[in-house]
Structure 1
Amino acid sequence: MSRIYNVAVVGGGIGRSHIVEGYVTNPDRYKVLVICDLNPERMNALADEFGVERRTTSYDDVLAMSDVDIVDICTPPMVHYPQVMAGLRAGKHVVCEKPLVGSLSQVDEVIAEEKTSKGTLMPIFQYRYGNGIEQAKAIIDAGLAGKPYVGTVETLWRRGPDYYAVPWRGKWATELGGVLMTHAIHPHDLFTYLLGPVKSLFGRVTTRVNAIEVEDCISASVEMANGALASFTA
């Protein structure tokens, strides 16, 4: 019989989808033990919906719970870095929504922290694990797909004013980026997951759709390490 991991879901907004799609569907592997949210009304509504008795508005309280194995961070991007680092230092396994952090230097710090932690970090790149992607990955890795020549990723997904009405969205300090970090990040990740690392890139970003700080349109020309050429548009 496999072990059942106790999970604390931190952030009751998108955290609900993690419960519905990840934990409720795998009761032999996971139990949602704690709901943590700064908004007591949302926290209690979510906990009531899924029958979770333990509730707190304090992330520090979650980390102090010895029976919590996994912290699932579903909070706004600007607090991901300190929460990930604190979770790893507490010896927890950490799942974190995208974008993981806001800079390459912070990525390096997270990697270093994970190496000394009892826990493991899992950034949210769930599309890698779909059946179609896993099959494509196996075919490519086996050498059956042949030599890659060119590729393209087009994320033609428009976000309007209603989406950016949430106070932390659309700002560098709180969302950490625009369409690259929050919307196109998944298809771009899939592309490099399948075709390997990027060797060089030239791109342009601009803000044309919404009255926001961050970019909402991008175009990039990419050279892959394997020699293939690609274009990214979002």
Structure 2
Amino acid sequence: MPARTHRTAIVGTGAIANAHAAAVRAAGDRADLVAVVDIDRDRARAFADEHGVPGVYPSLTALLAEEAVDLVHLCTPPRQHAPLAIECLDAGVTVLVEKPPALSLAEMDELVAAERRSNAHVATVFQHRFGSAAVRLRRLTAAEQLGRPLLATCATLWYRDDDYFAVPWRGSWDSEGGGPTMGHGIHQFDLLLSVLGPWTEVRALAARQARAVRTEDVSMALVTFASGAVATVVNSVVSPRQTSALRFDYERATVEVEHLYGYTEADWTVTPVEGHEDVLSGWADAEPSPPSGHQWQIRAVLDALDRGDPPPVTCADARNTMEFIAALYASAFTGQPVYCGQITPDNPFYRRMDGTGAPWADVMEAGR
């Protein structure tokens, strides 16, 4: 039996909230979804009825005033993530926030500060870290069983049409914080960063190729890691044949995964260098269990709450990924390499991901 049943609530009842509700349900007696919040009362009530949730509230403030909850799932549009997460922390409630956790490094640091003054914690949804194959790859990498990492490629090639961007908060720096770099490819390159460790330098470009948005719809980066490994990262929402692909070339093997929105064990392949077939035993000996998905991260969050530990993915982990995003935009818009730690509070890319402004911003204003 679990140590306790954690009372949970979901704030924001859009599409991604269904994945959270399903994950809470899959946790069985470990979690009880007691309330939902949405400014659209009818939508909140319909969601509550569908998932058997007793409490419906019009705001997070109202929820926190009426309900004793242990964990809040934030599933709102991105602009609301940091302010609502801070409200939870100030109320002493741990919060699991959908990506991106903030719109800028400045907001991210406000989250870090709020967590430090609270007895609660904030975690970011990066569910691809939690599939068994990704956990295994991090373990094998740390143990150097595959040899040194040399080269990696990371591609999020998705397709989002004009109707997708007709939703008012999409495609805007003010409400999303960025384009596919911030909202789509973030899952793949967060997994890349979790495997390869600290990055040191980014050289990048970003472009607005086909969508009538203020953000980019394509970005590309060349990344150098502290280990000496190098990687390419591509993020797109204009690619008709959609795929999400990661490839890691080590001294003794290539490890690859290709999927779309979530991988299983079957999506991974390992190709050893001739004479190093023994690396396959380290891969095959592990029990193939969970695919990537919200269920497994939420299970890990509940495990941490039972132990009294900060739940994964921590603020420090998420900040590393957010700093990478800021560095990518800064390099793309200035034409210069950007180094880890370079984007400090006096840098324009600290407070906004578009920093001094996207190269196409003036053209868009002229065409209004």
Q: Identity over aligned residues, as a percent?
A: 37
Determine the C-alpha separation between the residues in 1 that align with 2:61 and 2:19: 23
SS at match of 1:156: strand
SS at match of 2:147: coil
| Structure 2 counterpart of 1:102 | 103
| Further displaced range: 199-208 or 101-110 | 101-110
> How far is the alpha carbon of 1:209 from its aligned partner?
2.1
SS at match of 1:233: strand
| Structure 1 counterpart of 2:116 | 115
> How far is the alpha carbon of 1:160 from its aligned partner?
1.1
Determine the C-alpha separation between the residues in 2 that align with 1:90 and 1:65: 12
* Misfit runs of 4+, over 6 Å: none
Determine the C-alpha separation between the residues in 2 that align with 1:209 and 1:91: 44
Tell me the amino acid that sits aligned with residue 220 of structure 1.
Answer: A
Residues 160 and 209 of structure 1 are in contact (CA less than 8 Å); yes or no, is this contact kept in structure 2?
Answer: no
Determine the C-alpha separation between the residues in 1 that align with 2:143 and 2:206: 36
Determine the C-alpha separation between the residues in 1 that align with 2:21 and 2:129: 19
Determine the C-alpha separation between the residues in 2 that align with 1:63 and 1:204: 43
| Structure 1 counterpart of 2:161 | 160
SS at match of 2:8: strand
RMSD: 1.1
Determine the C-alpha separation between the residues in 2 that align with 1:58 and 1:113: 20
The number of equivalent residue pairs is: 233
Determine the C-alpha separation between the residues in 2 that align with 1:219 and 1:80: 26
Determine the C-alpha separation between the residues in 2 that align with 1:66 and 1:155: 40
Determine the C-alpha separation between the residues in 2 that align with 1:182 and 1:26: 27
Determine the C-alpha separation between the residues in 1 that align with 2:167 and 2:17: 16
| Structure 2 counterpart of 1:182 | 183
| Structure 2 counterpart of 1:17 | 19
> How far is the alpha carbon of 1:126 from its aligned partner?
1.0
| Structure 1 counterpart of 2:83 | 82
Q: Aligned in 2, Cα 1:46/1:66: closer, same or farther, shift over 3 Å? A: closer
| Structure 1 counterpart of 2:51 | 50
What's the CA shift string for 1:175-212, capped at 9, x where partnerless?
Answer: 11100000000000000000011100010111112111
> How far is the alpha carbon of 1:66 from its aligned partner?
4.8
Please give the residue correspondences for 1:175-214 in structure 2 after superposition, counting only pairs within 5 Å. Answer: 175-214=176-215
Q: Aligned in 2, Cα 1:142/1:162: closer, same or farther, shift over 3 Å? A: same
Where do 5+ consecutive residues of structure 2 fail to align?
Answer: 236-368
The TM-score with structure 2 as length reference comes to 0.62
Determine the C-alpha separation between the residues in 1 that align with 2:207 and 2:119: 42
What's the CA shift string for 1:90-116, capped at 9, x where partnerless?
Answer: 000101011110111221221121122
Determine the C-alpha separation between the residues in 2 that align with 1:221 and 1:48: 47
Determine the C-alpha separation between the residues in 2 that align with 1:143 and 1:149: 12
Determine the C-alpha separation between the residues in 1 that align with 2:30 and 2:78: 27
Larger radius of gyration: 2
Determine the C-alpha separation between the residues in 2 that align with 1:65 and 1:121: 21
SS at match of 1:18: helix
Determine the C-alpha separation between the residues in 1 that align with 2:100 and 2:144: 32
Tell me the amino acid that sits aligned with residue 15 of structure 1.
Answer: A
SS at match of 2:9: strand
Where do 5+ consecutive residues of structure 1 fail to align?
Answer: none
> How far is the alpha carbon of 1:162 from its aligned partner?
2.0
SS at match of 1:161: coil
SS at match of 2:89: helix
Determine the C-alpha separation between the residues in 2 that align with 1:133 and 1:162: 34
| Structure 2 counterpart of 1:148 | 149
| Further displaced range: 64-73 or 127-136 | 64-73
Determine the C-alpha separation between the residues in 1 that align with 2:65 and 2:83: 16
Residues 6 and 69 of structure 1 are in contact (CA less than 8 Å); yes or no, is this contact kept in structure 2?
Answer: yes
The TM-score with structure 1 as length reference comes to 0.96
Determine the C-alpha separation between the residues in 2 that align with 1:167 and 1:66: 31
SS at match of 2:108: helix
| Structure 1 counterpart of 2:228 | 227
Determine the C-alpha separation between the residues in 2 that align with 1:74 and 1:80: 8
Please give the residue correspondences for 1:130-145 in structure 2 after superposition, counting only pairs within 5 Å. Answer: 130-145=131-146
